[in-house]
Amino acid sequence: MLLVETHVSGQDKIVLQNYREALVRELDQVKTSPDDFYLIIDIPSKQIHLKAQGNVLRTCAILSLSPIEERHTYNYRFVNRIDPISVEPGNANLRLRGRLFPLDFSRRLIEGPRHRSRLYFAPNLVIRADGVSTGATPHITLSPVDIKALGSALRPGNIAIFIPHVEANH
Amino acid sequence: MHSFHTILFLALYLFFSFCSHLPARETDIEQLKADIASLQEALKRHATETYIVIDTAHNRLQVWHNNQMIREATCATGSGKVLLHPGASARWQFYTPLGIRTILHKVTDPIWAKPLWAFVENGEEPTVLPWEFRRLDRTTLGAYALKLGDGYEIHGTLYPTLLGRHITHGCIRLNDEDLAFVYRSLQVGDRVYIY
């Protein structure tokens, strides 16, 4: 019994150390880039928080995730978003009565984030919706609605502070 | 004497080695918790009490207070349309700007001074003088407007059935009830996060 208790206590310490490190990194982010959105990928609580200036803007539930090697709190960097549909080169610059062709609202719908967009981070992490293939790359799966929202929020260079899950045998 | 020191050194070495492999002590945990509380407090100083979050991808507006969402509303945001002035002397793109903005002014019964694009879009002859009667519109913006700078505002609408769509010229439209709540809840200087 004593052994179990002391073991849990040691695990708690690592969890708390990771949260403290995440807060240090978040505070640094808020001070150095106050105008940027950022993510907190909280694996122990299975949530991703979209934040800015310390304020929570959105909380997304993690539906599933593949094994991710990081064992300590770590900063990922958003690289780009790949959408399933991009503008056909042949349709560029077609206009009808001064407006983009074929429809007024298509430009946003075509170029904006989609439910099946993939969000790529460096090094080696993808956030995606269920059913979207990303090969062997470590990935986190969110709902399509959350993917579209995060795709709209993130710009290349934005950081994602990753808080890992602590295994019982660590 | 020399061997005594060696034995003492070895004993201390073994003791500290053993200690380093011991599970976390209560005091370590308490210290970590205190550090976390202190960092959270420091982070709170950067955060704001009341703020607006606008999800343009889904046309949702939320009012947050002390990190709790207290109201969610359907809004309308920028269409993404591009409008060209005849002769291509001007070009407008009607996007809601993404990023962080601040409420600069709060206005009741706002009057919309129609910009040039409003005339071009309707195929009307634009007015020349900014104070001409045709340019001033007392009904379109609703009862309140919260100005976000660069001509962008949160305001009302004459067409509540179009809320939830990407339909505006860049402003954020709300229905009357939600607009009144936002107007009452937010103060000049509060932040608006648009993504």
pLDDT top residue among B87 and A56: A56
Confidence of residue B74 (pLDDT cuts 50, 70, 90): very high
Could you report the predicted ipTM of this complex, rounded to two decimals?
0.80
Checking if the pLDDT of A2 tops 60, the result is no
C-alpha torsion A55→B54→A49→A31, nearest 10: -40
Give B 40-99 residues with CB within 8 A of chain A: 40, 42-44, 46-48, 51, 53, 55-58, 64, 67, 78-84, 86, 95, 98-99
Instruction: Tell me the sheet residues that pair with B69.
Output: B64
d(Cα B186, Cα B195) in Å, to the nearest integer? 19
Tell which of B22, B28, B195 to mutate to test the A interface (max A CBs under 10 Å).
B195
Tell which of A16, A100, A111, A119 to mutate to test the B interface (max B CBs under 10 Å).
A16
Confidence of residue A17 (pLDDT cuts 50, 70, 90): very high
Selecting from B57, B67, B81 the residue whose C-beta is nearest the C-beta of A152 gives: B57
Q: How far A49 CA sits from the closest chain B CA (Å)?
A: 12
Q: Encode pLDDT of B110-169 as tens digits.
A: 998 888 888 888 888 877 776 777 788 888 899 999 999 999 999 999 999 999 999 999
d(Cα A98, Cα A106) in Å, to the nearest integer? 14
- With a pLDDT cut of 90, the percent of chain B lying above it is 56
Are the Cβ atoms of B24 and A10 closer than 8 angstroms? yes
A148 at B interface, C-beta within 8 A: yes
Are the Cβ atoms of B29 and A35 closer than 8 angstroms? no
A99 at B interface, C-beta within 8 A: yes
- Ranking A91-100, B73-82, B177-186 by mean pLDDT, the lowest is A91-100
Q: Encode pLDDT of B130-140 as tens digits.
A: 677 778 888 88
Q: Encode pLDDT of A18-70 as tens digits.
A: 999 999 999 999 999 999 999 999 999 999 999 999 999 999 999 999 888 77
Selecting from A9, A17, A55 the residue whose C-beta is nearest the C-beta of B64 gives: A55
Q: Is the pTM of this model over 0.90?
A: no
